[in-house]
Amino acid sequence: MAEEKAQEEVEEQEEAKHELLEELRSSFGEKILQARLLRPRRLQVRIKGEDLYPVAEFLKGAGFDHLSCISGVDYQEHMEAVYHLWSYSRRELIQINAELPRDNPEIASLVPLYRAADWHEREAYDMLGIVFKGHPNLKRMLLPETFEGHPLRKDFKTQPMSWYLEGEAEMWETPVEVSPPEDGETEVMVLNIGPQHPSTHGVARLVTTLSGETVVKIEPVIGYLHRGVEKIAEMRTYQQFLPLTDRTDYISSITNNLAYVLAVEELLGVRVPERAEYLRVILSELQRIANHLMFIAAFGADLGAWTVMMYGFREREMVLDLMEQVSGQRLLYNFLRIGGLKEDVPPGWEDNLRNFLRVLPERLADYETYFFNNEIFIKRCEGVGVLEPELAIDLGVTGPMLRASGVARDVRRDDPYSIYDRFDFEVVTEEAGDTLARFKVRFREIFESLRIIEQALEDLPEGEVRSPDVPKVIRPPRGEAYSRIEAPKGELAYYVVSDGKSTSPYRLKIRSPAFCNLSAFPHYATGEIIPDMIVNFASVDIVMGEIDR
């Protein structure tokens, strides 16, 4: 039944797709090296690097408004810049492989078309040395300025870190230049917030220019927690890399697992048993609840409401207990496997889960009283840091942050993965686009997650939790997979390239939601005062492990 439906969908999509691909072929002719439909809602075009800009412009005109990710791949004979564009109106993803010569990898910057390209291009430049012509600020993103070489190139030779950091100390000694004030203007002050600061949620650094207490300019500097996860992936087998995905967004590790295994399963063409699919949904939604509770707790702490912080952690503890019963771990579960789950849930766990579903709404009623009847809280958040919907889409913002600007986009609904198309849930949106809206969206999403878990628990089938088709040695056929999921923080995607020979990924790129959401932060937080900036920053819901990777 489901297969039939999928088959129909393929045919339906194929026709619609042909239209777009035909249009592409007719407009660009020889320049399109290859254009094909990979699977429903997935298209691919292959072009030469110099033709990128017109093709991207054409696609933007055709409704591809969301630049999901830019990755670079070093194929040793040539390089490729890979663009993933999603169309909210067509509900299709197109992958553009732009081929570049390896000795001179230059390509046009897409910043004029999509502002989201800014940080992605800087990262690709940093990691692979692809030069994006026309980029306004092309400098290193994750690695220190004094670093030499581009680590994701295949011929990169590793050196001790101290070697790269030579000269860094002198760099810090040079003071930041501040232009003297003109007549009638106040002198501006550069305040360096972070990497060690109570509200940077880890090691983010914000170089902030202040005029009095008003924020004139913010420049986020990231990379302090960069561990080279993408590089490590190239040296580990597919199974070995799984625990490392936990450590990217370390407060919602199940969803990281999920995005990764979905990509590898797509490469392998493995189908996951029904029971495992249901349990994956249940665990992902539990993880979303834990993440949002953590967000509420941290947000409270940033506002000086330590009571809420403790309450949030108390409720999150219940989720951690459930996870511990399942996986034996409390933070980094490493529970999903390629082709299913590590093992079935223990007997009696479903009752514990039902108990949790009953208790949590009662507890959340307290939160409602605390926040929404609290004038100080409302006054601090209302109208602060308004992010316009058009700007949000342009900046590649996803997840609760985008929905708080009134854009009802949710990968679970628009591009269903796993079995999310079987559940009835609301895509929570708020119109205001301010910090309060971002808070409310996350708060209300907890209830939607509870609804999904209830439905999944009701239909939970018996059976295996691990597909027998997965070989012991995973060596996927040559190909690429891009798995998008709705992680608690937004659209999380793993782009995995297999060369068909090796047991480890040839290239693995993580499209981190917080990375893109953070890039939007300076756009809506300037012009307000420091206390507003702190709540604005908190409302992004960042985890540095995921941003810096």
Partner 1 sequence: MVNEMLLQVLQGLIAVVAVILFLSLNVLFLTWMERKVIARIHVRYGPNRAGPYGLLQPIADMLKLLTKEDIVPERADRLVYNLAPVVAFLFALMPAAAIGIGSGLIAADIGVGVLYIAAVASLSTLAVLMAAWGSNNKYSLLGGMRTAAQSLSYEIPLVLSMIGIVAIVGSLSTQDIVAAQSQAWFGIIPKWFIFYQPLAFIVFFTAVVAEMGRIPFDLPESESELVAGFHTEYSGMKFAMFMFAEYIHFVVGSALVVTLFLGGWHLPVISPLVAELGWVKYLVQVAIFVAKMYLVIFVLMWVRGTLTRTKVDHVLSYGWKGLLPLALANVVITGVVLSI
Q: Give yes or no for a cis peptide into 195 (omega within 30° of 0).
A: yes
Smallest distance from the beta carbon of 127 to partner 1, in angstroms? 33
The backbone torsions φ and ψ at residue 193, rounded to the nearest 5 degrees and listed phi first, read -95, 115
Sign of CA dihedral 63, 55, 45, 95: negative
**How long a stretch of residues is the chain?**
549
Position among 94, 262, 303, 338 found at the interface with partner 1 (CB under 8 A): 303
Q: For residues 445 and 284, is the Cβ–Cβ distance under 8 A? A: no
Question: Measuring CA to CA, how many Å separate 145 from each of 125, 220, 222?
Answer: 12, 15, 12
Residue 519 Cβ, how far from partner 1 at the closest point, in Å? 22
Binding mask 368-397 for partner 1 (x = CB under 8 A): ------x-xx-xx-----------------
Per CB under 8 A, contacts with partner 1 among 473-532 are 529-532
Closer CB to partner 1, 198 or 328, in the complex: 198
CB of 371 to partner 1, least distance (A): 9
> Which of 331, 376 has the CB closer to partner 1?
376
- Taking the least distance from each CB to partner 1, the nearer of 300 and 340 is 300
Minimum Å distance from CB 529 to partner 1?
Answer: 7
- Please check whether residue 79 is in contact with residue 158, taking contact to mean a CB–CB distance below 8 angstroms: no
To the nearest whole angstrom, how small is the minimum distance from the Cβ of residue 222 to partner 1?
A: 20
- Between 435-459 and 274-302, two packed helices, what is the crossing angle to 10 degrees? 150
The CA distance from 251 to 292, in Å, is 10
- In 3-state terms, what secondary structure has residue 282? helix
Residue number with CB closer to partner 1 (211 or 237): 211
Task: Tell me the closest approach of the beta carbon of residue 374 to partner 1, in angstroms.
Answer: 7
Q: Which is nearer to partner 1, 16 or 529 (CB)?
A: 529
| Residue 165: DSSP 8-state | T
Contacts of 297 (CB under 8 A, 6+ apart): 308, 309, 310, 311, 312, 313, 316
Is 221 among the residues that bind partner 1 (CB under 8 A)?
no
B/e letters for 348-375, b = 16+ CB within 10 Å, e = fewer, are eeeebbeebeeebeeebeebeebbeeee
Map residues 153-192 to x or -, x wherever contact with partner 1 holds by CB under 8 A: ------------------------------------x-x-
Q: How are the residues of the chain apportioned to helix, strand and coil, as percentages rounded to the nearest 5?
A: 45, 20, 35
Binding piece for partner 1, criterion CB under 8 A, among 89-97, 294-302, 406-414, 499-507:
294-302
- Report d(CA 483, CA 417) in Å as an integer: 8
**Euclidean distance between CA atoms 253 and 503, whole angstroms:** 23
Among 311, 278, 317, which Cα is nearest to 296's?
311
Indicate the SS3 state at residue 314. Answer: helix
Query: 19, 213, 343, 388: which one contacts partner 1 (CB under 8 A)?
Result: 213
Question: 104 or 369: whose CB is closer to partner 1?
Answer: 369
**At closest approach, how far in Å is the CB of 304 from partner 1?**
3
CB of 297 to partner 1, least distance (A): 11
- Out of 153, 197, 444, 523, name the contact with partner 1 by CB under 8 A: 197
Contacts of 456 (CB under 8 A, 6+ apart): 278, 281, 282, 285, 423
Give yes or no for residue 144 binding partner 1 (CB under 8 A). no
Nearer to partner 1, 179 or 196 (CB): 196
Q: For residues 224 and 299, which CB has a smaller minimum distance to partner 1 in the complex? A: 299
Q: Smallest gap, in angstroms, from Cβ of residue 38 to partner 1?
A: 46
Binding status of residue 300 toward partner 1 by CB under 8 A: yes
The structure tokens 């929570």 sit at: 428
Total number of residues that touch partner 1 (CB under 8 A): 28
Smallest separation, CB 436 to partner 1 (Å): 13
Q: Least distance (Å) from partner 1 to the CB of residue 200?
A: 10
Least distance (Å) from partner 1 to the CB of residue 538? 8
Give whichever of 237 and 526 is closer to partner 1, judged by the CB atom.
526
Nearer to partner 1, 199 or 352 (CB): 199
Which of 73, 96, 305, 542 binds partner 1 (CB under 8 A)? It is 305
Comparison of 432 and 457: residue with beta carbon closer to partner 1: 432
Token pair 């995905």: residue = 245
Closest CA to 299 of 515, 535, 490: 535
- Interaction between residue 199 and partner 1 (CB under 8 A): yes
Measured CA angle at 292 (ends 533, 400), to 5 deg: 65
For the beta carbon of residue 168, count every other beta carbon within 10 angstroms: 13
If binding is defined by CB under 8 A, does position 39 make contact with partner 1?
A: no
- Residues found near partner 1 in the complex (CB under 8 A): 189, 191, 197-199, 213, 300-307, 309-311, 314, 374, 376-377, 379-380, 529-532, 534
